[in-house]
Amino acid sequence: HYPLKQMSPEKFFDSLMVASQANRVGAKGWEQGEKMKEELQQQFTAVFNNDENSEADSFNGTIPQALLLMNGSIMDKAVSKNSGSLLHERVQEINEQIEKRRVKSTVAAYDALVGELYLAAVSRYPTKQERMIATQLLDSTMTQSKNKEWALDALQDIFWALLNSSEFVLNH
């Protein structure tokens, strides 16, 4: 077994960017995206700077770290509904396929997207129990919401939980 190790702030930030495409949210072009990425990284490393020689088998973050991950601008961009985000792009593709009747089942399409979110965040497919919980969240959101973007709201919650999990934060 490989011992669990907390990622450096730079590696953690890069993993978050790759998983969520947060640096593309609202960016009009590559240069603007890179500038936004640099600004987010400066904020991130200032909060997460730690002793890289310390070993960690769990993520015991500080209060500013927890607040940044729970409701900071970087997490807001990571689970954004805005153009450029992973969620927006994939949900838009699914909605286009639904309109063109290329998708047989809306629920199946969003269930497949849940699998993609797990792959992006934790590099594995969800277990049966995790998939069941996600499906229940999607179903309950769909039945309770009159909003057209019901699935996006539920998927935001799922992706947020994955990006804030210790499985994402720790290098396995």
Q: Are 109 and 94 in contact (CB under 8 A)?
A: yes
The pLDDT of residue 127: 94
Cα torsion at 99, 103, 108, 110 (round to 10°)?
Answer: -40
End-to-end CA distance of the chain: 9
Whether 85 contacts 22, CB under 8 Å: yes
Q: What per-residue confidence (pLDDT) applies to 57? A: 42
Q: What is the pLDDT of residue 148?
A: 59
pLDDT of residue 58: 42
Please list the pLDDT of the chain residue by residue as tens digits (172 residues).
667 777 777 788 888 888 888 777 776 777 777 877 787 777 777 777 655 445 444 445 677 777 777 777 778 888 888 887 888 888 888 878 877 877 676 777 788 889 999 998 998 999 999 999 998 888 887 777 666 567 788 888 899 999 888 888 777 6
Do residues 116 and 134 touch, judged by C-beta distance below 8 A?
no
